[in-house]
Chains A and B, each alone.
Chain A
């Protein structure tokens, strides 16, 4: 459908763009997803890494030494070894809990020589 403007030009009537509810939800989800990716990338790029440790020795004229961290042993992820470590901790705590006095087991404080000595 066309209309004639005041100047005699033909104006083409365009259909108005309408956003339905599912489309809005989709747009919101997409923007949240993009935002999350953005935060993740920024975190990965700018988070301070602890690959090396700088130790400043004040007793040695301020010389600096760069030390590399100790390589992590394969045993750190070995389930059998971790079980041994845990069992050992449990065993040590069991040893600490042993009570070799146990006052509850002491004999009752009873009296002998209960008599009236009438003889």
Chain B
């Protein structure tokens, strides 16, 4: 009886923990984002008040509000980096090496953000905060580009995952298809599916850093268009398979 209870407990604990982590991360991320928006509104008001009155009180208020919004901005960026990592870990068919590489990126950026927050906490003047904020502005495009690439990998893996199931479906359908018409349809279906590989190659080229380029920005929108086109080919291929199977009965 004790063993049965233990097995049930283990089963309950092992049900999709990664998925639960992602949902929790997304919930935390939404909370931090709303907190950031509020801080930004408070800062905007304080800044306008300081610029109008230029008193010591308004200056101190602007300093604290700026400290608050910069801290919350660093928090939301860190939460976003980790959210993408959770999504990668919860996704199907994402190569372990890609997850590991992105985990290292998150570690590096989190470490930078942590140092950035320490500087924010230590800053005594608005001028110091201006300089620290400028550092963030320089760093953020790099963080954004790396997360965009990670999102690209998550999305492309969805097509890869379904595509990996197609050879089995092709061979099983082929074993029943002696009729010349069905064999022709099967050949068309295979060709359609292979067109995804062409689209995939274009996406990989977009993801690969260009040589001698220091400002290589990944175009996620273009990659998504290629993925959607590739998915359409996979859908057409599966429609051909469905037609063949229906004809066999």
Chain A interface (Cβ < 8 Å from any Cβ of B): 73, 75-76, 80-81, 84-85, 87-89, 91-92, 94-96, 98-102, 104-105, 107-108, 110-119
Is A85 touching B158 in the complex (CB atoms < 8 A)?
no
Is A118 touching B130 in the complex (CB atoms < 8 A)?
yes
Residues A116 and B162 in contact in the complex (CB < 8 Å), given A85-B245, A95-B234, A105-B87: no
A84 neighbours in B (Cβ, 8 Å): 169, 172-173, 176, 245
Chain B residues with a Cβ closer than 8 Å to the other chain, count:
56
**Cβ of B149 under 8 Å from chain A:** no
Residues A114 and B36 in contact in the complex (CB < 8 Å), given A88-B242, A92-B238, A92-B242: no
Residues A73 and B248 in contact in the complex (CB < 8 Å), given A88-B241, A95-B234, A115-B134: yes
Is B249 touching A76 in the complex (CB atoms < 8 A)?
yes
B159 neighbours in A (Cβ, 8 Å): 98, 100
C-alpha spacing A84/B173, complex, angstroms: 8
Residues A118 and B144 in contact in the complex (CB < 8 Å), given A88-B238, A91-B162, A95-B238: no
A99 neighbours in B (Cβ, 8 Å): 158
A98 neighbours in B (Cβ, 8 Å): 158-159, 162, 231
**Cβ of B207 under 8 Å from chain A:** no
Is A108 touching B77 in the complex (CB atoms < 8 A)?
yes
C-alpha spacing A102/B157, complex, angstroms: 13
Is B80 touching A114 in the complex (CB atoms < 8 A)?
no
Residues A87 and B43 in contact in the complex (CB < 8 Å), given A107-B147, A110-B76, A114-B66: no
Chain A: minimal CB distance from B47 (Å): 6
B99 neighbours in A (Cβ, 8 Å): none
A115 neighbours in B (Cβ, 8 Å): 66, 129-130, 133-134
Query: Which among B80, B158, B249 has the greatest number of chain A C-beta atoms within 10 A?
Result: B249
- The closest CB in chain B to the CB of A95 belongs to B235
**Cβ of B112 under 8 Å from chain A:** no
Is B126 touching A107 in the complex (CB atoms < 8 A)?
no
Chain A: minimal CB distance from B79 (Å): 8
Could you say which of A85, A91, A102, A118 contacts B151, with CB atoms under 8 Å apart?
A102
Chain A: minimal CB distance from B48 (Å): 10
Residues A94 and B162 in contact in the complex (CB < 8 Å), given A105-B151, A108-B33: yes
Is B169 touching A87 in the complex (CB atoms < 8 A)?
yes
C-alpha spacing A76/B158, complex, angstroms: 33
- CB contacts under 8 Å to A, within B61-91, are 62, 66, 69-70, 73, 76-77, 80, 83-84, 87
C-alpha spacing A61/B215, complex, angstroms: 77
- The closest CB in chain A to the CB of B226 belongs to A100
Is A104 touching B169 in the complex (CB atoms < 8 A)?
no
Is A108 touching B36 in the complex (CB atoms < 8 A)?
yes
Chain A: minimal CB distance from B93 (Å): 12
A110 neighbours in B (Cβ, 8 Å): 36, 73, 76-77, 140
**Cβ of B227 under 8 Å from chain A:** yes
- CB contacts under 8 Å to A, within B224-238, are 224, 227-228, 231, 234-235, 238
A92 neighbours in B (Cβ, 8 Å): 235, 238-239, 242
Is A108 touching B245 in the complex (CB atoms < 8 A)?
no
**Cβ of B155 under 8 Å from chain A:** yes
C-alpha spacing A76/B84, complex, angstroms: 46
Chain A: minimal CB distance from B135 (Å): 11
Query: Which among A87, A92, A101, A114 has the greatest number of chain B C-beta atoms within 10 A?
Result: A114
